[in-house]
Structure 1
């Protein structure tokens, strides 16, 4: 389909005459800038409500932390301080149920792994927060400091692991992505990106150059690491440039052909999505092996931290009750 035909296959049939005579619809479409995609209002509202709620909760916790640290509301050895430490310690101990659920067949009936993972993630934050409040954000004895340091190492390791986990799994609680799935996804993107090449001759060359650079063999380990770390940033930068060029061509063609703004917007959004999806497919496929290796290395480091936390926590509890 050429430029004169609208360039892309639209997601639904577009009645040009009806749109031209519908002034309210035209005003609404003209109010939408070209650089955004249309999202359901309900989904956007829920997303912002979730962000606002999380931000409010963080501010509340920070305010309470400031009061506990500087207003001397209680001490670690008081009833409140002791109970906070006890609750936090039990929560941290309960996190061990997640790896047991994965490996012990007798526990398979105790809920889905997705729910266990949610508990492991959220309580992995809640437990350390309670223990930090228990300490009133002050250092104490040697055994207490070792237990606190061990807990912070486990919590920080969990945050890093969660970041890496999302790179090799679908969604926040999804299953692991296979290399075959990524290859199939990339082939599908290749089939759809062809229509974008007709916008400008150099778009195809730039996308293919990025693809070749992503998979080119490199002997230097340092250079491979640098390519791995910067590939996503370079992909986003290239995507912005190509979308900018595509938009200029589409705007010029819209003026020439007399397209309504709705058709221009739909064509641009489709081109934008195809460009982003194609580059993202390249990046995921090229980085898959690196993220998988990082996740394995993270697991080797995370498990010893857990053992250190358990032993130091037990030693701290014994020391508190004996002395």
Structure 2
């Protein structure tokens, strides 16, 4: 999948997710904003209530999307036979899409009213989604090949040294700019990084990098280099800063990722167990959809 197709692939996911959320909210706003006691008299009650033809359908489709999203990603990740069947990151993006839109549909299925044991499943689902967002952030901080294999520290240092040699031979910085670049490309600056200061660190670091990039762009434009070389040098500088960060945070992010699995998996198991119980009880009591 080339870059253009990948952008269309991701863009389609965003479009579908946002459209589903907004259209269902607009269509059902009148019903969802009505008090629970008065919903029975609402003209959309038979459609949107959890056992209604629409509400029930939201639950079925949303649950199916979550089950499918988890299953296909786990199978692709663990099966050696499917190792070359598409890039793992594209399967992860599909997993994220299905496991984001699915819970949104389940939320509309509940008509924003949940209690008892089902509420445990719902809040487990919320925690799974939120922890999934955090997990995605941690995942992209760990350098990987295009097939999804983690790159070890030796390979990363080799890549960094090659990139540094190329930059030092192709670009001339002024003294202050060079000093700042040396700091930003030193893995040592991440040695005191920990979970408690991570959010503040990334905010401050992003601001610092953005300021440096503005100064760099101004410097390169004053140098009067060609447009093509300008873009290439800018890309190399950005790549080295990102690679340095990933080298510096590699051990920390790998540790975070292990802890994340410990937190993410139990919530997912609880959610699916209660979901299955809920489906069985629904079938026993004779609730049917459009069949």
Q: 1 CA distance for matches of 2:130 and 2:255? A: 19
Q: 2 CA distance for matches of 1:229 and 1:142? A: 40
Matched, 1:178 2:152: yes
More RCO (CA 8 Å, sep 6+): 1
Q: Per the alignment, do residues 286 and 48 of structure 1 end up closer, same or farther by CA in structure 2, a change over 3 Å counting?
A: same
Q: 1 CA distance for matches of 2:198 and 2:106? A: 40
Instruction: Indicate conservation of the 8 Å contact 2:190/2:248, yes or no.
Output: no
Unaligned runs of 5+ in 1: 1-41, 252-262
Aligned to 2:96: 121
Aligned to 1:63: 23
Coordinate RMSD, CA, aligned = 3.8
Aligned counterpart in structure 1 of residue 64 of structure 2, from 90, 102, 127: 90
Greater CA drift, 146-155 or 268-277: 268-277
State how 1:177-196 maps to structure 2 within 5 Å.
177-195=151-169
Say which one has the larger Rg: 1
After superposition, what is the alpha-carbon deviation per residue over 1:86-123, rounded to whole angstroms, capped at 9, x for unaligned?
Answer: 23223333445347526876x84698473754543332
Query: Post-superposition shift, 1:147?
Result: 1.9
Q: Per the alignment, do residues 201 and 172 of structure 1 end up closer, same or farther by CA in structure 2, a change over 3 Å counting?
A: same
Unaligned runs of 5+ in 2: 32-43, 286-291
Q: TM-score, normalised by structure 2?
A: 0.73
Q: 2 CA distance for matches of 1:95 and 1:51? A: 18
Aligned to 1:76: 50
Aligned to 1:19: none
Q: 2 CA distance for matches of 1:221 and 1:119? A: 28
Matched, 1:231 2:205: yes
Aligned to 2:174: 200
Q: Per the alignment, do residues 100 and 189 of structure 1 end up closer, same or farther by CA in structure 2, a change over 3 Å counting?
A: closer
